[in-house]
Amino acid sequence: MNNQTVLYVKSDFQLLNAWIYYKNFLSSHSDCVILFSGYWSSGSKIARYLVSENSLIDISLKDFVLNCDGDVVIVAGGYKHSIRALKNVVDYICIDDGIGSYASFVHLYKSAVREKGLVKMFLAFPVYYLYLKLYKRMGFYKVYHSILERELKPEVINGIFDVANCLPRDLKSPLGQKKYVVFCSQPYIDMGVISSCEYSSMLDRVYKDFNLELLVLKHPGDRMFDYKGFKVVENVHSESFIVENKSAIEALVGVNSTTLIVGSALLGFKSFSYGTTKTRAIEKAFSKKLREIWDKHVEEVL
């Protein structure tokens, strides 16, 4: 069997970053296979396209590695030492998982508690965080960031454009010539961070501020809010959608989505961040590096 690179991912953002890393640094000496792990939306257009171009495996990562005759490189959104310890895994690269990849311990800890509960994360997350730092220092895995010095790396920008341009017609989502304000949603109602009333007021304010039709670029985890009356686009990869519809996007808006940063770099102008007291508290926990990246690409609306 040929040497293999496994893209072990759970979101469209991870999938595209893993694919870009593979194409730039590994494709000349290994084949590529994709393994979804708790994927947000494996039926999304970007996932369907990249699966059509590569092999999709439907067994556990451990079983796949153990059954490979050649060397295996893992490109993943998170580190698993039990996989790295297998004898034919020769390299393990952790790629960006959005804003969280640049966040401080405080930001990550609060996110873990918010998503999984204080009882479960009170001691577990600090131990997990230290274990990751230790294994990285020992050289068990590398980290590949898509942002360098507050800017998207050239290979990342080129990779997003390449994928967007290669999508077959049936996987494209053209908006035409009409201008839109695009709102990048997040599952903050589902997570209990803000109420439906607060969220509805935010959308109303965005509409009044721009006086253009509001298009919601829906996050796959955003399920509780009723977007009746809004134009909604879902099951697309946000960044490739932005590239495809650059001329139709008058402004890119959201709360604190990673798409606000990446979209700003692709569009060439700042995104806008709307929020509540609770979401602004999340941003106050940004690390110094993340704050510099954020301020470069996003304007906060008070």
The dihedral sign for the CA sequence 218, 224, 225, 227: positive
- The reply to whether 257 and 210 lie within a common domain is yes
Is the domain of 289 the same as that of 224?
A: yes
From the list 134, 113, 133, the residue with the least C-alpha distance to 122 is 113
* Domain end call among 145, 164, 185: 145
Are 98 and 182 in a shared domain?
no
Is residue 29's pLDDT more than 90? no
Among the residue ranges 63-77, 94-108, 203-217, 256-270, the one predicted with the least confidence is 94-108
pLDDT band at 88 (very low <50, low <70, confident <90, very high): very high
260 in a domain, yes or no? yes
**Residues 12, 123 share a domain:** yes
pLDDT tens sequence across 31-54:
999 999 888 777 788 899 999 989
Of 145, 168, 188, the position where a domain reaches its end is 145
d(CA 20, CA 70): 22
What's the mean pLDDT in 207-214? 94
| 259 belongs to a structural domain | yes
User: Which of these three, 145, 166, 193, is where a domain ends?
Assistant: 145
Backbone angles phi, psi at 266, to 5 degrees: -75, -35
Residue 194 belongs to domain with CATH number: 3.40.50.1950
Q: What is the 3-state secondary structure (H, E, C) of 161-222?
A: HHHHHHCCHHHCCCCCCCCEEEEECCCCCCCCCCCHHHHHHHHHHHHHHHCCCEEEECCCCC
265 token code pair: 């770099």
The alpha carbon torsion through 208, 195, 99, 42 (nearest 10 deg) reads -100
pLDDT at res. 260: 96
Contact 46, 237 (CB under 8 A): yes
Residue 13 shares a structural domain with residue 125: yes
The burial of 284, by beta-carbon neighbours within 10 Å (0-12 exposed, 13-18 middle, 19 or more buried), is given as exposed
- Is residue 150 in a domain? no
Domain that holds residue 238: 176-300
CA distances 163 to 104, 133, 155, 172, 262, Å, are 31, 33, 12, 11, 15
Three-state SS across the chain? Answer: CCCEEEEEECCHHHHHHHHHHHHHHCCCCCEEEEEECCCCCCCCHHHHHHHHHCEECCCCHHHHHHCCCCCEEEEECCCCHHHHCCCCEEEEEEECECEHHHCCHHHHHHHHHHHHCHHHHCCHHHHHHHHHHHHHHCCCCEEECCEECCEECHHHHHHHHHHHHHCCHHHCCCCCCCCEEEEECCCCCCCCCCCHHHHHHHHHHHHHHHCCCEEEECCCCCCCCCCCCCEEECCCCHHHHHHHCHHHEEEEEECCCHHHHHHHHHHCCCEEECCCHHHHHHHHCCCHHHHHHHHHHEEECC
* Residue-level pLDDT at 187: 92
pLDDT at position 148 is: 85
Are residue 134 and residue 17 in the same domain, yes or no?
yes
Task: Please report whether residue 47 resides in a domain.
Answer: yes
The verdict on 110 and 194 lying in the same domain is no
Using alpha carbons only, what angle is made at residue 111 by residues 153 and 144, rounded to the nearest 5 degrees? 25
Number of structural domains (the chain) is 2
Residue 28 lies in a domain: yes
Whether 207 and 292 map to the same domain: the answer is yes
* Contact indicator for 7, 31 with CB cutoff of 8 Å: no
User: So what's the pLDDT on residue 40?
Assistant: 78
Asked if residue 196 belongs to a domain, the reply is yes
CA distances from 137 to 88, 128, 142, 179, 281 (A): 21, 14, 9, 48, 31
Would you state the pLDDT for residue 38? Answer: 83
For residue 1, the model assigns a pLDDT of: 53
Considering the domain architecture, whether residues 66 and 108 belong to the same structural domain is answered as yes
Q: Do 108 and 185 belong to one domain?
A: no
Query: Do residues 103 and 285 make contact, with C-beta atoms less than 8 angstroms apart?
Result: yes
Residues 181 and 253 in one domain: yes
- 233 and 290 together in one domain: yes
pLDDT value at 3 more than 60: yes
pLDDT of 208 higher than 90? yes
Let me know if residue 180 belongs to a domain. yes
On whether residue 206 sits in a domain, the answer given is yes
